[in-house]
Structure 1
Amino acid sequence: MIFDTKKKEILGNLYRLGTLYTKESVTTFDHYFSSLGHGKVLPHGIYDCQQNRGYITLENSKNTSKVACEYLKNWGNTYGKATYPNANSILAKCDGGGSNNANHYIFKDDLQKLVNNEIGIEIRIAHYLPYTSKYNPREHRLFTHITRACQGVIFPSLELVKALVEKTQPKMGLSVAVNILKKVYKTGRKVADNFQNTMQIVFDQYLPKWNYRAVPQPE
């Protein structure tokens, strides 16, 4: 499984690159400024390599580590348990920055809490090294097709973005499920002062900065 976040888009009557057929001319702002819009949409994607299926969550809050773990939990409860009922671990490949930043302890803290309190099975994280995210299958198997489906369309609402992404069905057999998350998440959260000494994350011997596991702890 591969999960990560793409850049945010502004909601509103703003010009977006691409061409499409319309019944009448469309007039938009030609400058892509946040102040000209009325919100934003941040797509967070999970791509299941074995099933060739994408799971997109659209949200308009902040891209925090709590949000990333919320996506993992929602995927597990909604799709993961039904698709892989006998699974005892999850392998998640992701880039090194953003909400799941490899350098941020807060992501590791939220990940451990997710494993202990929510899903109860091990999550192994494997980060792509800097400047290697172009090799992430999520880019050319999922988000490339989503970008094409949304090309040139004005984004007035989250609901329209959801409808467009759900229509992403290239000939290669990809299918995409889309959810909207409207919760607001707190920013600026920090781990406890002694977290580095007490954290339960298990780091691999090989490239430990990029490869580690959150293992459920006995009560």
Structure 2
Amino acid sequence: MAARRAARAGQTHQFPGQAAKAMPYGIYDMTANTGWASTGTEHDTAAFAVASIRHWWQAVGQHEYPCARRLLITADGGSSNGYRTRGWKTQLAGLAAETGLEITVCHLPPALKQRLWPGTSKWNKVEHLLFSHITMNWRGRPLTCHEVMLQTIPATTSRTGFTVQAELDSGEVPHWRPRQ
């Protein structure tokens, strides 16, 4: 599974004439060739990133992989799930404690390094196998509200059988804190 903030797929999308924003965060399950997109209404935070993974695990992952003991996450090296972000690590530790999963994160090169060495972006499966399909499906459609996004994302498919589920994250993200 790979998780990351949608860089070219939308970043922060401001709806025309509204104060509402949308920030997609995606999970691509390489084994099942499926995607999960959480669209947040608040800021791109480590808590939102981990909440997206948590929601995917609760809705899909634990049912598809009932014997799983470990979860591998490939993430980009910047933003809310960056390798230096303490909140990301703390929130993942909470998810690991909650689920009993051993979580390993492999970070892809940060965006700066991808600009310096363009070939490194090929490693990012979320960008190429999830958000590229969503972006093609969005092409030419005005994204006027969250509902339009939530209807458009699941309509995304590919010739290889790729499917996507989508959810709206209202910003009520549980913040895990270690016991004192």
TM-score bracket, shorter-length normalisation: 0.7 to 0.9
Provide structure 1 residue ranges, at least 5 long, that are not aligned to the other structure: 13-35, 193-219
Q: Which residue of 1 aligns with 2:117?
A: none
Give the Cα separation in 1 of the matches to 2:172 and 2:134.
25
Shift of 1:125: 0.3
Superposition pairs of residues 45-194 of structure 1, within 5 angstroms: 45-116=26-97, 118-130=98-110, 131=114, 132-184=120-172
Q: Which residue of 2 aligns with 1:11?
A: 15
What is the RMSD computed on CA atoms of the aligned residues?
Answer: 1.9
Secondary structure in 2 matching 1:54: strand
Superposition pairs of residues 1-40 of structure 1, within 5 angstroms: 1-6=1-6, 7-12=11-16, 36-40=17-21
Pair member with larger Rg: 1
Instruction: Give 1:160's aligned amino acid.
Output: V
Shift of 1:185: 5.5
Runs ≥4 in structure 1, deviation > 4 angstroms? none
| Cα contact 2:35–2:130 (8 A) shared by 1 | yes
Secondary structure in 2 matching 1:58: strand
Give the Cα separation in 2 of the matches to 1:184 and 1:77.
16
Secondary structure in 1 matching 2:165: strand
> TM-score, with normalisation over the residues of structure 2?
0.85
Give the Cα separation in 1 of the matches to 2:55 and 2:139.
28
- Residue-by-residue CA offset, 1:85-129 (whole Å, 9 max, x unaligned): 00001000010111111111221112112211x211111000012
Secondary structure in 2 matching 1:70: helix
> TM-score, with normalisation over the residues of structure 1?
0.70
Shift of 1:184: 4.7
Shift of 1:38: 2.7
| Cα contact 2:40–2:48 (8 A) shared by 1 | no
Provide structure 2 residue ranges, at least 5 long, that are not aligned to the other structure: 115-119
Q: Which has the higher helix share?
A: 2
Secondary structure in 1 matching 2:77: coil
Q: How many residues align?
A: 165
